[in-house]
Amino acid sequence: MAGLFNYAGMVIGSIGLFFGFYYLGARPDTSIRLVTLTTVGIVGILAFARHVLFHKSDAKRLGWETDRPDWMFEVGFANLAFGIIAIIAVLGHHSPKTQAIILLGYAIYLFQAAFLHGYRYFTDPIKSPARLWRSCISTLLYAVMMSFFAVRVLWCSCVSTVGSIGAH
């Protein structure tokens, strides 16, 4: 079951990134809303369900089976916190900068997860191609794309603020 939630998150996040790029030039506010809602909001809640509700199958899928899944619950609750705050920010029509900060925070979190999975791949005696590609490389690329949207919004807001200061 955890695998289905994982694939659903990958598909939903990818669709959000696709439409984020699609609307980027013409409707940047729509772009950041879609990316934040899908890649953090929905994906975060699905990751919570995967890590907490289906922790046994998720641990098996990841190759981290344990009798003490406390750390998986902690990871799941972190995902839930990001997911809920992203949905509140989008549905509450908070500023693109607020959404960008949430997006960047989740991207940093996922960078750390990607590096952990990469470390595990390179240090484990048994090399799992799934861990390398799905858990490390795809997570890394996902976090890079999320960061792109966040940094773009933050950069554009800084440039416009500096421009308005010079105009006075």
pLDDT tens digits, 117-148: 899 899 988 888 877 888 899 999 999 999 99
Q: Which pLDDT tens digit goes with each residue over 27-67? A: 999 999 999 999 999 999 999 999 888 877 777 777 777 77
Token pair recorded at residue 107: 């991207």
Write down the pLDDT at residue 3: 77
Listing DSSP states for 109-156 in one string gives HHHHHHHHHHHHHHHSSS--HHIIIIIIIHHHHHHHHHHHHHHHHHHH
Asked if residue 167 has pLDDT above 60, the reply is no
Write down the pLDDT at residue 37: 98
The amino acid that residue 37 corresponds to is L
Helix, coil or strand: residue 13: helix
- Measured CA to CA in angstroms, residue 3 lies from 57, 58, 81 at distances of 8, 7, 21
Q: Which residue has the higher pLDDT, 67 or 106?
A: 106
Alpha-carbon distance of 98 to 32, in angstroms, equals: 10
Token pair recorded at residue 100: 């960008």
